[in-house]
A and B are shown apart, each in its own frame.
Chain A
Amino acid sequence: MSDISTEKYIEEARRGIANPVLQKALVGLQDRFGRGTAEAYRRLPEGPDLRIKAHEIREKAIANLDVLLEILADKIRANGGHLYFAETAQEAVDYGLAVARRNNVRLVVKGKSMVSEEIGLNPALEAAGIEVVETDLGEYIIQLAGEKPSHIIAPAVHKNRHDIADLFVQKLGIRRTTDPPELTHAARKALRAKFLAADMGTSGVNMACAETGHITTVSNEGNIRMATTMPRVHVAFMGMERIVARLDEYEIILRLLCRGAAAQTMGTYASYIGGPRRPGESDGPDEFHLVVIDNGRSRILADPQFREMLYCVRCAACLNVCPVYGKIGGHSYGFAYSGPVGAVVTPLLTGINRAKDLCQGETLCGACRDACSMNIDLPRMLLALREKLAYGDAAWQVKPASRAEGLAYRGWSWLIRNRRLYELGLKLAATGQKLLPHRKGMLRRLPPPVQGWTQSRDLHPLAEETFMERWRRTRKS
């Protein structure tokens, strides 16, 4: 599996908030895509309710996942393609490596794919002495910089043109320019040479269709088309949930995917791949492999509380409206998936205790649910994760996240059921608070262990007279 650093959420979030370049980029990103996507849904001939229909389509597909995957596999094999079903990330990577070795592959061009980030494909290929080149411009930039993507659709959103200019001078040896078209052209030139020299291309899968036996990939740049057309071998990696039954259903998913991802009515390129080059054709790969990946998804499938997460198509619309993502940026989430989708899917894939801060960090404001192209109720699942963290859960091997918190709540519950003690406590606190630092009638700092409450705001002090005291007094008079 790839590097996971979900434990550093709080530390990384602080770093993100303190980064002025990131802050500016995130405001721009959310302004543009957040609003644009809502507008794009409104402009649908069927209106935003098409998302409800899409949710039904995905629900039906996931409930019949075994049948649909079997049909897809049969059709792709009948068209000369190869299928491999990987239970774990390691199995998926090993299969990709075996294909590369068998074909004496020295250079791989990679189309952007979040699932290959999830399984850690690049490090494994590189460890085997194979050069791997990211070809999506954003991914290429961060690969040259030795970093990780910070957004599903805009992976290099945290870098500005000056960062990229310095990087290209250093890595591509170009004359320094901060002009985006010139920078893009420098990458175009460098990557064209790679596309034409590569022995193998890899891609993800946006959505497969069982009825026709195709996978589809969508891009604006054309990099995925290049990576799946020019090299001799194409290996596509697909999360097992990315499938619908019929072409007419696929049509609805594709339209919503493009709107959710970039407020577009249609991405520039959508390719339907059903197998390798056929006899008589002059281009296309000699070999086509599809690797279908479980890697923890069957556990999500088995849990009715979380099955809905498998309806997700990773369009990233939720990132573009989330107030938390909008401040802390994608690196804080410490895994391939960031934002609200990451806050649910990362704990489920990597361990709920391990990624506990991700679901605790979200606000439950519901913006992600309204933006979701598949109308998924992310806040519901964030709450379900928090519940597991509060009480523990044997099936998911979750230990209660904080014993002290559990004790505190039990104490509180006991206290409020003992009226006299509670009122005595209030009196004591009302007196005790006078010792704390004040500013303009507000409490500036609470003592440990509750100091977090006043870290970024002042608190109202407790009233001199409690509600009950006032009630008694005014009723008498």
Chain B
Amino acid sequence: MDTPDQINFFRRIRAALGHAPDVSRNASHLFAEGPSPEELQLLDRIRRRTAEGRQALLERLVEAGKPINLSVTALPDVAYASAAIVRLVGEKKPEWGDAKHIAAWRHPLIDRLNLPEALDRLQVPVHATAPIPIDAGSQFDQVERERQRAGIIASFIGVTSADFCLADTATLVMRNRPGQPRSAALVPSIHVAVIHLDQILSDMKELFALLRWDERYRSEGLSNYMSFISGPSKTADIEATMVHGAHGPREVHLFVVTE
């Protein structure tokens, strides 16, 4: 789709680069047909990672989390994770009101936490972020989105999972999908993420090698919105004093299930 603004814009760039202004150039040499030797090594390293290797990554993740105020806790199974969340809900105070609500992703691992049941005793409502049926019509779509948004805004804790976690920088990697809204990890004052041990990667290089070349991840790509989250929101804009909780969550708790 070449709009007039685009045609003129590209004419100027090509002329500035010394090329014929009206000829669209091919530059397939800029891209790669397949993984580089370095990427093949990375993919191989991920594939061959042993239980000890995963444990070592977990330890690196815990260390990397410390300077950025990310609390990382390893737990043997989902029941422990569920209990840990219940404890947080009980201990922490809401920032914007008195009522305690939480929001939780619709996600296989998060569903296994049985949060509505676990929090029933504390009488804390859980706003589940179910996918919106695509053929439900625009009015339903609108109403349902408003409802989920209101639930997340009312929540002081947002519970999500993640696609991966990068050990070297303590970075959670999430791709937006139906049922897994990004605002659940952003708008509530406390973000709780629950992941499985084998979702930990070493660094961005491993992540990008997977996203570029592993068939399991390549088809979905980066999705329309992928986020990297490394610890709680922070600012040092007032006299260079570090303050956590600028606009995003003030606390981030990561529970790693090692079952």
Listed in ascending order, the chain A residues whose CB lies under 8 Å from chain B are: 25, 28-29, 32, 60, 63-70, 73, 77, 79-80, 83-87, 91, 135-138, 141, 154-156, 160-161, 164, 180-181, 183-185, 188, 191-192, 195-196, 210-212, 214, 220-223, 225-226, 229-230, 240, 245-248, 250-251, 254-255, 265-284, 292, 294, 298-299, 301-302
Contacts and interface: CB of A to CB of B under 8 A. Distances in A.
B212 interface: yes
A-B CB proximity, top 5 nearest = A222-B248, A280-B178, A221-B246, A85-B9, A302-B16
Contacts of A196: 153
Given A229-B182, A251-B208, A276-B224, A192 B243 contact: no
B139 interface: no
A246 B35 CA distance: 12
Contacts of A69: 10, 13
23 contacts: A66-B19, A67-B26, A68-B30, A155-B237, A161-B238, A184-B243, A188-B246, A211-B31, A212-B221, A221-B233, A221-B247, A226-B247, A229-B186, A240-B9, A248-B36, A272-B227, A282-B145, A282-B178, A283-B152, A284-B225, A292-B9, A294-B12, A298-B12
Contacts of B245: 184-185, 188
Contact of B8 (A87, A160, A267, A275): A87
Given A269-B227, A274-B224, 6 more contacts: A85-B5, A91-B5, A225-B186, A271-B225, A280-B178, A281-B177
A137 B224 contact: no
B208 to A, nearest CB: 5
Given A66-B25, A222-B248, A265-B169, A83 B16 contact: no
Interface of B: 1, 3, 5-6, 8-10, 12-17, 19, 24-27, 30-32, 36, 39, 68, 96, 129, 131-134, 144-145, 148-149, 152-153, 168-169, 171, 176-179, 181-183, 186-187, 204-205, 208-209, 211-212, 221-241, 243, 245-249
A83 to B, nearest CB: 7
A312 B124 CA distance: 50
A316 to B, nearest CB: 14
A220 B237 CA distance: 11
Contacts of B238: 137, 141, 156, 161, 164, 180, 183-184
Contacts of A275: 224
B234 A268 contact: yes
Nearest to A230: B183
B171 A266 contact: yes
A270 B230 CA distance: 9
A35 to B, nearest CB: 14
A267 B204 contact: no
A67 B247 contact: no
A268 B237 contact: no
B181 A135 contact: no
B243 A247 contact: no
Nearest to A300: B16
Contacts of A292: 9
